[in-house]
């Protein structure tokens, strides 16, 4: 199945070259994201990652896994193992920009290992005549910009994706990995679940496929152990969280799930998943091609495709992520590499070419729907024609290539005829999910969307010069202000406030952005500064409320700060009013 040693070495060299090139590109993206228009070069992370960084630093400094020193025990993060890794970074002495750089460089390494592993999985089960498919697979993984974006911006997406592809190899791969799989598969499942609880969906799906569709007793034992381990890790995680925080589930879960009905969540989740249609259909075609055989190639295709589809269903159930108008969400990004592996394994065999000739009509239909889906906007609802046009062009080219390659009628299919089919099929995925967001960010000369984070970080550092370290600050962004300000914090949107998280939504469903209560957060908790404000209720006059409660919108006389200023409590002794002035003067 793997061919002679010389050919295996050529494949390794090919995957290695692709991995080296992809690593260089990702390093360049990280460096480019540090260009700071408002000061010295600075490395930053996505604000949700900075929430985890705040918890991590507090744990490193105080021994308490809380938002800031002295904060109540509230779990405002959903990535425990990743947060513990960030804690290690701080224990080693890194902080601020250098800590963010270490996280980003870890992301670069994870993405490189992910691409290598994906290519290796494909190589391990394909005939020798498809020796280049592993390299094409690795290259395509690097082209999954949503996966790269979230990983390089400090989220756990890349780690989850790597765990998924590794588990796929250990659970469903050929027999030469059986000894490693006996313990490696359960440990990978445990690590994935402890990184993100919803990884249990991926682990259990893969375990069920291997257990139910394989006739190999050792493989079935590994699958059973993997499923049990994933479930046990999930249960243990919930119990530990219950014991430490008083709630089994993170506050963010309550924030996003309580008070909103399934239909409303599923409607938004479906609309937000529209751009995944080509990947979903490609997974289904891959499943049809392998037809539930129990060899390693078919098991890998089935497990990868079904795990991807299961996570898509979960994303619909929870209502999606919050950022789909800008970038495919984190639920999808963490499993997109599984689609690439499934398609590579399914289409990288000469025996499927004639099958594809009867199925290829499905792909243009799916890609057309996906191009339309790329224009669907949520929160606020709408349709972006320019996005549809961009994706139509990109997907149209790859779809035509797939149609042409899969319809070639060759009596004896030569090895060279396999590669165009696989390449065209794989490129459909990045064409549908990567071209539009990457093109938009590149047109803004902001390849990782870091400029807003740089500006908010600059604002926070300027704010530290006019308020006391003992001040309390209310904020919409819960990561950057808490990390760089080191103040006592109030989370206006409820990620770190159980009162807000368990309240009723104030606006149509928008994950993490539909609950707030200024009477509670400002009037009752009485912060010294309201750094940012947020509302989706056009009838709510927030400035009037804040003014009535003793706050005044002021700008800073020194440093770089938003022209809109911030709201300062007039009577607060922890504010240097001599460094403030009414905005617009």
Domain check: are 369 and 509 in the same one?
Answer: no
Residue 561 carries which DSSP code? Answer: -
Compute the Cα dihedral for 162, 163, 169, 175 and give only its sign: positive
Structure tokens at 418: 């396999």
What is residue 380's predicted lDDT score, i.e. its pLDDT? 80
Domain check: are 53 and 143 in the same one?
Answer: yes
Domain check: are 428 and 499 in the same one?
Answer: no
Residues in the chain, pLDDT under 50:
1-3, 6-8, 11, 410-413, 415-416
Domain check: are 66 and 188 in the same one?
Answer: yes
Structure tokens at 79: 């990535």
Per-residue pLDDT of 415-440, as tens digits, reads 446 777 788 888 889 988 999 999 99
Domain check: are 481 and 433 in the same one?
Answer: no
Domain boundary among 410, 443, 476: 443
* In contact, 43 and 97? CB cutoff 8 Å: yes
Domain boundary among 443, 476, 495: 443
Domain boundary among 413, 443, 473: 443
Domain check: are 519 and 382 in the same one?
Answer: no
Residue 127 exposed, middle or buried by CB count within 10 Å (0-12, 13-18, 19+)? middle
Inside any domain, residue 122: yes
What is residue 379's predicted lDDT score, i.e. its pLDDT? 82
Domain check: are 136 and 221 in the same one?
Answer: yes
**pTM for the full predicted model:** 0.94
* In contact, 153 and 49? CB cutoff 8 Å: yes
Per-residue pLDDT of 10-50, as tens digits, reads 545 789 999 999 999 999 999 999 999 999 999 999 999 99
Compute the Cα dihedral for 321, 323, 326, 329 and give only its sign: negative
Domain check: are 315 and 246 in the same one?
Answer: yes
Inside any domain, residue 386: yes
Nearest to 535 by CA among 526, 527, 524, 544: 544
Q: Apex CA 502: angle with CA 497 and CA 508, to 5°?
A: 105
Inside any domain, residue 89: yes
Inside any domain, residue 449: no
What is residue 410's predicted lDDT score, i.e. its pLDDT? 46
The order of strands in the sheet holding 529-530 is: 488-491, 472-475, 529-530, 566-569, 551-556, 580-582
Inside any domain, residue 262: yes
Inside any domain, residue 162: yes
Reported residue count of the chain is: 585
Q: At a CB cut-off of 8 Å and minimum separation 6, what does 330 contact?
A: 150, 155, 157, 321
How many independent structural domains does the chain possess?
2
d(CA 261, CA 246): 25
282-296 burial by CB neighbour count: b if 16+ within 10 A, else e? bbbbbbbbbeeeeeb
What is residue 406's predicted lDDT score, i.e. its pLDDT? 65
Domain check: are 473 and 418 in the same one?
Answer: no
Domain check: are 478 and 437 in the same one?
Answer: no
What is residue 415's predicted lDDT score, i.e. its pLDDT? 46
What is residue 408's predicted lDDT score, i.e. its pLDDT? 57
Domain check: are 410 and 514 in the same one?
Answer: no
Inside any domain, residue 451: no
Domain extent for 469: 464-582
Domain check: are 231 and 172 in the same one?
Answer: yes
Inside any domain, residue 455: no
């Amino acid at each position: 199945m793997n061919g002679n040693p010389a050919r295996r070495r050529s494949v390794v060299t090919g995957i290695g070259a692709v991995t080296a090139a992809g690593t260089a590109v990702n390093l360049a993206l990280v460096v480019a994201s540090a260009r700071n228009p408002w000061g010295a070069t600075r490395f930053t992370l996505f604000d949700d990652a900075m929430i985890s960084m705040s918890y991590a630093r507090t744990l490193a400094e105080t021994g308490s896994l809380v938002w800031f020193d002295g904060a109540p025990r509230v779990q405002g993060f959903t990535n425990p193992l990743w947060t513990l890794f960030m804690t290690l970074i701080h224990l080693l002495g890194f902080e601020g920009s250098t800590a963010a750089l270490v996280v980003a460089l870890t992301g670069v390494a994870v993405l490189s290992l992910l691409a290598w592993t994906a290519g290796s999985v494909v190589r391990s089960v394909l005939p020798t005549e498809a020796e280049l498919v592993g390299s094409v697979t690795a290259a395509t993984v690097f082209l999954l910009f949503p996966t790269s974006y979230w990983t390089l911006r400090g989220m756990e997406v890349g780690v989850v994706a790597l765990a998924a592809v590794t588990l796929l190899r250990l659970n469903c791969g050929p027999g030469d990995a059986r000894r490693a799989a006996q313990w490696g598969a359960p440990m990978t499942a445990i690590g994935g679940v402890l990184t993100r609880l919803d990884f249990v969906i991926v682990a259990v799906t893969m375990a069920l496929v291997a257990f139910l569709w394989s006739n190999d007793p050792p493989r079935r034992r590994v699958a059973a152990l993997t499923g049990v381990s994933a479930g046990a890790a999930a249960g243990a995680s919930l119990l530990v969280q219950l014991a430490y925080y008083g709630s089994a589930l993170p506050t963010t879960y309550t924030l996003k799930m309580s008070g909103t009905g399934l239909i409303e969540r599923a409607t938004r989740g479906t609309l937000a998943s529209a751009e995944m249609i080509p990947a979903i259909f490609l997974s289904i075609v891959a499943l049809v091609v392998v037809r539930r055989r129990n060899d390693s190639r078919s098991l890998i295709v089935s497990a990868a495709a079904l795990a991807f589809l299961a996570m898509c269903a979960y994303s619909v159930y929870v209502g999606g992520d919050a950022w789909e108008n800008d970038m495919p969400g984190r639920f999808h990004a963490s499993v997109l590499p599984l689609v690439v592996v499934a398609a590579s394994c399914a289409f990288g065999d000469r025996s499927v070419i004639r099958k594809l000739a009867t199925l290829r009509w499905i792909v243009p239909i799916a890609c057309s729907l996906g191009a339309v889906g790329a224009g669907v906007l949520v929160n606020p609802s709408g349709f972006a024609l320019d996005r549809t046009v961009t994706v139509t062009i990109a997907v149209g080219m790859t779809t035509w290539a797939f149609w042409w390659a899969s319809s070639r009628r060759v009596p004896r299919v030569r090895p060279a005829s396999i590669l165009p089919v696989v390449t065209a099929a794989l490129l459909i995925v990045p064409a549908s999910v990567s071209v539009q967001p990457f093109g938009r960010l590149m047109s803004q000369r902001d390849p990782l969307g870091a400029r807003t984070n740089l500006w908010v970080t600059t604002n926070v550092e300027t704010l530290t010069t006019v308020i006391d370290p003992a001040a309390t600050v209310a904020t919409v962004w819960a990561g950057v202000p808490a990390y760089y300000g080191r103040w006592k914090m109030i989370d206006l949107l409820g990620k770190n406030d159980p009162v807000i998280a368990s309240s009723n939504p104030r606006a149509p469903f928008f994950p993490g952005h539909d609950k707030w209560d200024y009477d509670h957060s400002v009037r009752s908790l009485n912060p010294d500064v309201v750094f940012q404000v947020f509302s989706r209720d056009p009838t709510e006059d927030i400035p009037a409320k804040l003014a009535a409660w003793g706050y005044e919108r002021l700008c800073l006389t020194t440093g770089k700060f938003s022209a809109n200023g911030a709201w300062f409590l007039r009577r607060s002794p922890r504010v240097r009013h001599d460094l403030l002035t009414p905005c617009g003067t």
